[in-house]
Amino acid sequence: MSYAVKEMFLTLQGEGVQAGRRAVFVRFAGCNLWSGREEDRANAICRFCDTDFVGMDGLGGGRFADAAALVAAVVEMWAGAATERFVVLTGGEPMLQVDDALVDALHAAGFFIAIESNGTLPVHPGINWVCISPKAGSETVQRSGDELKLVWPQPGSEVDAMERWDFTHHLIQPLDDPQADANREAAVALVMERPRWRLTLQTHKMLGLR
């Protein structure tokens, strides 16, 4: 199987429990909740995405013929000691492409694998760190993992039900849009009302990182 990758880059993880950790981000092209085209946003299930995942023209992006080729690029991007290797598979929706061959090859290269998914597809059981960000209006089938990261406010989200899902960490992340100040206040208010949740911020944006 070949893989369509929008971009690949070395940075610090900016969100969630793993924030601050050196990581290679592999952003897969394509998503099942929005085409990525602005003309389709108004009718999409996910309308607030802040990420360009269309095509394969980003830094480090391209069509990789097989898992070995993609993992070789990830290793080259890491460009450091062969310890504490950390890769984040994201998108778009990475589970449209992640398969046994890729997971096995990344593990063979010594990588701890994290994934950021919308949860509409089952996550590969070999993933080491599962972060699910559910989108209102979609069916979340992956209801267990390490992090549940809910972008807020998000009308239609079933917060009561989510609190019963099997995640180690329940995180609230303020929606980054023109109402960012009000969104932060709403996120703080939710955490104050529901102490099961913790606030997470997009620290990479604050630091000017990718």
- Tell me the catalytic residues: 25, 31, 46, 49-51, 116, 204
Any alpha helices (H) in the chain, and if so which ranges? 67-78, 100-108, 159-162, 180-193, 203-207
Kindly state the tokens that stand for 128.
Answer: 């080491």
The number of CA neighbours under 13 Å toward the Cβ of 117 is 27
Kindly state the tokens that stand for 43.
Answer: 């009718």
Residues 150, 172: Cα–Cα separation, whole Å: 5
Contacts with 127 (C-beta within 8 Å, 6 or more apart), sequence order: 89, 98, 103, 113, 114, 115
Nearest to 206 by CA among 180, 179, 171, 169: 180
- Give residue for tokens 């989108």: 135
